[in-house]
Amino acid sequence: MLVQGGFMTKNSELTPFRIDVAQADLDDLYARLANIRWPDELPGAGWDYGVAKSHLRELVRYWQTGFEWRAVEARLNELPQFTTVIDGQRVHLAHLRSGAPDAVPLLMTHGWPSTIADFLDLAGPLTEPQAHGALPVQHRSTSCCRRCPASDSPVRPGRRAGASPGSLPRGSH
């Protein structure tokens, strides 16, 4: 372990990770969604004071009846996922390697409230371009935003852990 800037950092350690949300957590979410106490909305305010109530109700209805977490979880678990410690914080990432030895490394990150799920449709085209229509071949690492379940919350302001290739564990690119 190294100590950098007062934070302990493990270098070069990638720990395999699999998403496995407990059914009790999903049941709790569904119960909370079913028991929302909807606030009143100012007539005609729309989005001026936050999310429009009608939009929020539609979103909650989708989470209750249209979103299939287990299907998304299974699709995410098809990716080789890991956690590592960068700048003293655990970071969740998916690391996809191309079969081409001369592939260009590509680090993709996202902001809040996005997730690595937003990159799922890019996995094949970026790592197996011949099968998806001739782009340059690339190895790809996708880190997960802090505040996501497998990554730690920020402990200080500043750049995001893992935001630069030099901060990645050896062998991850």
pTM of the model: 0.66
**Ranges of each domain in the chain:** 1-19+77-173, 21-74
Smallest Cα–Cα separation from 84: which of 99, 76, 95, 73?
95
pLDDT digits (tens, 9 = 90+) for 97-146: 888 777 788 888 888 888 888 888 888 888 887 777 755 555 656 666 55
Q: Which two tokens stand for residue 20?
A: 């496995």
**pLDDT at residue 23 in the model:** 97
Q: Which residue has the higher pLDDT, 156 or 53?
A: 53
